[in-house]
Amino acid sequence: MALMGMAFSVITPAMGSILSHYMALGVANPTYISTMYCITMVPVTLITGVILNTGKVNYRFFAILGNVMMLIFGCLPALIPDPSYGFMLVCRALMGVGLGFVTPLGNAVILNCYEGKKQSMYMGLATTFMNLGGIAFQNIGSVLNTMGGANGYHLCFWGYAFCLVGVIGSFLIPEPKKFQAAAPAAAAGDAPKIKEKMGIIPIILGVFLFIFNLMDFPIMMYAGTMLHVSGAEALAGICLTFFTIGGMISGAIFGATFKVIKRFIIGVGWIICGLGVLI
């Protein structure tokens, strides 16, 4: 599931071509094609997390549904000869719904199936695989955009065919022990009711992370756009890949690093990001 976490980035290397095409048709702000998925993904992710916490729906259901939606609505614009701007937005919104189903699953399975050192190790591996998926999606999009020439933006949507890997992998997801243990108890009417309160610190950290992503992720879109303007479309995927390579490396060493610095790992990560921006 982590491998599919950056599926939205398929069209990022082609954003320059997309902007040129739709601005020529009189569309005022075609950048919404890149960001529309967020509008649906964020609320769906929150709702999915709440539903999973009830134990009434298993993880595999959301995994299959989410990956199938990304596969269908991700590739759909490539099947239409000249998709309209409105059609593109609808497809991106529905693709975001699918991504919203998939996004919380990786960490949810790890947190509910593993404990202690294994948990931190697998969390790091999940980050690594998410960035590996990002590298794959971005390079597939870049190659297809280059192959398509002037119509490359249209061809790059076939990159969502990579979500077929996620569909196949969905059938292999283990159901958490908590869910399996709760099922018989719920059937007998003895399901324990446990309410856990979230402290203020996680909420504050979540807000800071939200603001950080608002400032950070648009860099990926504008990098592809600037390279298109400068005539270096083929380099867009390579440039964006370095972003995900950094995430892959940090994910690989996350487990070992977390053992040493514990809760300070978030602050250290933000400091390193800040140094990268300054440089």
pLDDT value of position 237: 58
Tell me the C-alpha distance between 228 and 233, whole Å: 5
Residue 1 · residue 133 · CB < 8 Å? no
Amino acid identity for residue 43 in this structure: P
pLDDT grade for 7, boundaries at 50, 70 and 90: confident
Residue pair 7/161 in contact by the 8 Å Cβ criterion: no
pLDDT reported for residue 71: 92
State residue 50's pLDDT score: 82
pLDDT in tens, 200-242: 877 787 787 777 766 666 666 565 555 554 455 556 556 666 7
pLDDT of residue 268: 83
> What are 143-178's pLDDT values in tens digits?
887 776 666 677 888 889 988 988 998 888 877 765
For the chain, the C-alpha Rg in angstroms (whole number) is 20
Three-point CA angle 150, 156, 160, nearest 5°: 170
CA atoms of 172 and 174, how far apart (whole Å): 6
What is the average pLDDT value for the chain, to the nearest integer? 76
CA distance 158 to 168: 18
Residue 226: is it exposed, middle or buried by C-beta count within 10 angstroms (0-12/13-18/19+)?
middle
Q: Residue 238 burial by CB count (10 A; 0-12/13-18/19+): exposed, middle or buried?
A: middle
194 has a pLDDT exceeding 60: no
Phi-psi region of 189 (alpha: psi -120 to 50; beta: other; left: phi over 0): left
* Least confident piece of the model among 124-133, 183-192, 197-206, 243-252: 183-192
**Mean pLDDT along residues 107-127:** 78
